Amino acid sequence: MPEPVRLQLLHPKVRVFLPGADAPVEVAGIHGRVLRLLALSGGHCFSSDILATEFGYGSTNSVAPMIKQLRGKLGGPGWGNRAIRSDPGAGYLLDPSLVDLDAFEFRRMVDPLVRQYGDVAEPEDLPIEQAADKLAILEQAADLWRANPALGLEDIGAAEHQYHYDYDVLYDRMQRLRVLLALRVGTLQRLRQSILLLESKVSDGHAPDGDDWCLLIRAYHSTGNPSKVQQTFARARQYYDVRHRQAVPRQVEEYYERSQRGEQDFSLFRPPERPTVHGHTTPAEVVRASLGPEDGGGPNRTDLLQIVDLIGITTHSELRLSDARMEPTQLMRRVRQRLWFSGVLASKWVVDPDVRNELTDLLTVLDHSPAGDVRFMIMNPEGPGYRRLRELRGDELSAEHLPILARLTVEHSSFQVKVFDHLPIFRIHVLDRDVVAFSFYRLDEESYLRDDEGWASPHLVLDPLAPWPLADAFATLFNEMWQSSSFLDPEKYT
C-alpha cells in the first residue's frame, strides 16, 4: 500500500503534499473548507444534500461538479480520484487510510495530557519528575499549530461535526497546561515561556480569567522582577475596574500580597537576590560604581557582567535563535504574532524567492490572527537620506525590493510598511514580546570607508524580562520612529 499523503490543516490554507510534487498543493476557498470537513470527519460519508446545505449551494446538482474540481486539485487520477470516494446514494468521503493528518497528530499528542492534568490548578500539583518531558511534547504540538484545522467550518450545523469549537477548546487547554508545566519546571527559560504565554492571553483581545492574572503575577515574582508584578496587578485592576466595573477577584489580590510580602514558597524558581554592585541598586549608580573613579580606575569585569545581566544583554542561543546574525528565515520561524523590522532596504526579506515565500506564508497565517502585526520601516527611496546612501554605495543599491513590499502590503492585512528620510543608526528587530535585537549601521562616509564591514555588524540580543531592560528602549525607539514615518504608497511601485 502506498504511503499516506500528508494533509496540513493546521494552517490558513489547506496544504496537500502529493507524491512526486515539488511543492505542496494549496487548497483554499470552498474546496479547502470541504476538504477540511471530509478530513476531520475521519471517513464519515456526507450526502449531497448535507454538503449543499452546509456550504450554501442552491441545489444538490452543484455538489458533484465541485467534488470533481476538488479531485482535480488533488491530482485527479494520480491521487484525488482515489482519495475522495463516492458511494452511490450515500455521498462522499475521504478515505482515511490514504491521508496523514497533522490535526490528528496534534490531537494524539495533546489529548492524553489534557485529560490527565486538565483539572490541575497550581504548578505544584504537577509531578516534577515528568514535567520537562511532558512540556516537550506540548512544545512539539504547539509548533504544528498555525491555525484552527477547522477554519471556515465555524457555522457547521450538525453537532457531531463541531470541529472548530472542539479544537479551539483543546488548544486553549493545551496552552494553559504549557503554562503550568513551564512554571513547574521553573528554569529561567521556562519561566520566560510561561510569561509570554500568559501575556498573550491577557493582552491580545482574549478574555483572561483570574487564574491567568494570578499565574502571571507569580511568574514575574519568580523571575525576581517586582516592578513587573506591580505593573501586572495594576493592569488587572484596570481590566476589572475600568472595562468590566467589577472588583478585582480576591485571589488576584492575594497573589499580589504574597509577592509583596516576599513569601519564600511563592517563588517557583527561588533565584538569587537581585544583583547589586557595591550596595547600589539603581542603573545609574551601578554604572558609575563599575566604571570606577575618574582618576583612571578601570572597570571591574565582574561588575560589568552584572550590568550586562541587569539590562538584559543575552545570547541568541538562550532565546532559541540559531544564529547571531538574525537571518530573516530563522526569525520568521520564531514569530507567533509580532515582527517589527527597521532597517535600510529590507532586501534580505523579499528579494530571495525562498525567503519571500517564508514571509508570505507568515503573513498568511497572521492575516487570520487579530493580533497579527508585521511592520517594516525602511528608507524613503525619494528622501535625502537615500540619496546620500546612493552616493556612498553607488550601484550596490537596488530598488527591486520596493514593488514586492508594495504588493505584499496590498495582499496582506497584517503587513504594513513605512518609510523615513534619514540615514538610520540602528537596525532593529522586535519579535513578539520576548526578543529585541539591534545592530549598528556605519553609513556615514568616514566610518564606511574606514570599516571593512561597511554597514554589517553582529546583533546584540536583548531580554525584555531583565530587571532594567534595555529592550524597552529599543522597542520604544521603533514605536516613536513609526509614528513619525510615512506609509509606503503602493500605487507608486505596483
Residue 53 lies in a domain: yes
- For residues 162 and 300, membership in a common domain is answered with no
Residue 370: per-residue pLDDT: 78
Place 303 in a pLDDT band, splitting at 50, 70 and 90.
Answer: low
Residue 201 lies in a domain: yes
The residue-averaged pLDDT of 331-358 equals 88
**Per-residue model confidence as pLDDT tens digits over 454-466:** 445 566 777 777 7
Query: In this model, does residue 213 exceed pLDDT 70?
Result: yes
- For residues 261 and 178, membership in a common domain is answered with yes
Residue 114: per-residue pLDDT: 95
Q: Return the amino acid letter for 296.
A: G
Rounded to two decimals, the pTM is: 0.73
CATH number at residue 448: 3.30.870.10
**Per-residue model confidence as pLDDT tens digits over 219-258:** 999 988 888 899 999 999 998 988 778 889 999 999 999 9
Q: 415-420 and 373-379 as β-strands: parallel, antiparallel, unpaired?
A: parallel
Residue 433 lies in a domain: yes
- For residues 77 and 166, membership in a common domain is answered with no
- For residues 9 and 86, membership in a common domain is answered with yes
- For residues 372 and 487, membership in a common domain is answered with yes
Residue 461: per-residue pLDDT: 77
Kindly report the number of other CB atoms within 10 A of residue 469's CB atom: 20
Domain span at residue 461? 328-493
Pick from 424, 418, 448: which is nearest to 343 by CA? 424
Query: In this model, does residue 16 exceed pLDDT 90?
Result: yes
- For residues 128 and 84, membership in a common domain is answered with no
Of 168-177, 186-195, 196-205, 354-363, the one with minimum mean pLDDT is 196-205
- Map residue 59 onto helix, strand or coil: coil
- For residues 487 and 354, membership in a common domain is answered with yes
Query: In this model, does residue 392 exceed pLDDT 60?
Result: yes
Residue 273 lies in a domain: no
- For residues 299 and 336, membership in a common domain is answered with no
Residue 368 half-sphere exposure toward CB, CA atoms < 13 A: 17
Residue 276 lies in a domain: no
| Mean pLDDT for all residues in the chain | 83
Query: In this model, does residue 450 exceed pLDDT 80?
Result: no
Residue 334: per-residue pLDDT: 80
Among residues 40, 70, 102, the one where a domain terminates is 102
- For residues 356 and 488, membership in a common domain is answered with yes
The number of domains in the chain is 4
Residue 271 lies in a domain: no
The residue-averaged pLDDT of 304-314 equals 68
Q: Rounded to an integer, what distance in angstroms lies between the CA atom of residue 443 and that of residue 438?
A: 15
- For residues 126 and 98, membership in a common domain is answered with no
Residue 321 lies in a domain: no
- For residues 158 and 225, membership in a common domain is answered with yes
Q: Which residues contact 384 (CB under 8 A, 6 or more apart)?
A: 421, 422
Pick from 324, 390, 333, 377: which is nearest to 357 by CA? 333
CATH number at residue 13: 1.10.10.10
Residue 414: per-residue pLDDT: 93
Residue 320 lies in a domain: no
Pick from 358, 378, 367: which is nearest to 478 by CA? 378
Q: How far is CA 450 from the centre of its chain?
A: 39
Report which secondary-structure segment, H or E, holds 305: helix 301-311
Q: Rounded to an integer, what distance in angstroms lies between the CA atom of residue 219 and that of residue 71?
A: 50
Query: In this model, does residue 205 exceed pLDDT 70?
Result: no
C-alpha cell at 180: 503550568
- For residues 333 and 307, membership in a common domain is answered with no
